[in-house]
Amino acid sequence: MSRKIRIGSRKSRLAVIQTELVMDTIRETHPEIELELITMETTGDRRLDVTLDKIGGKGLFVKELDRALLEGRIDLAVHSLKDMPMEESSRIPILGYTKREDVRDVLVLPEGGKPWKGRGVIGCSSFRRRIQGERLFPQAEFRSIRGNVLTRLEKLDRGEYDALILAAAGLKRLGLEHRICRYFSAEEILPAAGQGILAVQGRAGEDYGFLETLAKEGAGLEALAERAFVRYLDGGCSSPVAAYARVEKDRLYLQGLYYIEEEDSYALGSREGRPEDAEEIGVLLAEEMERKYGRKGGTGV
């Protein structure tokens, strides 16, 4: 591979900031490599008129970048891991992960607004957030909202919504941490699999030795456990299945959310084990919850 590396990103401000974080990491260890940022708009960015589950899920945020990788127009792609399909491609595998940013979901209120009492309209982009948020705010109405983080904040501040539930990671990377009014614990709203982690994707068979730092990040083990849990339950990016793993010393702790479609409800479970058994832990927790609650619960949206 040439010493000029073309890195693909979505066009949004957050996506570019995230890609630049990865580029900075590469520059720290390999300053001799010339890096070129190439941005592109994805189908998920263009289709804001309908919810993602109606047009194919969040995999639509990676399709154009996948094609560019396969066609050789870019050498790497950077994604929010939670936006990627749970099935990894053997032709364009994930090569490394960044250190995890804050994994929590947060509540955001209109700028300069009055204290919120849990009523009104909450803008919420995912079913996962809605079904958990309804337990926290039973008097509120949950309404779908599309668009990037800045677009959603504009809609909030215009009065179209009374509150939003967003990921802390995106707001912090955008320098908008001051907009956060409340952090939700994992017990209140379990995060999406891979939330807060950036994934670097490339072509199989290429020499990506310059990514050695990213390949060693501990977040990769957490990602493997979370994605194995969701994948086993047939959960995709638009399903309400959620999972959160954390590695502490020599143990990996995994929490999983199992959606019970018939009741439009959910249950939480947990399991722990050795970090090197991350994927097995994810599958075992999924199997355990499936036995306890019936047929696979990740397919209802």
Active site members: 83
Rounded Cα gap, residues 91 and 97, in angstroms: 18
Show the tokens assigned to 42: 């994805």
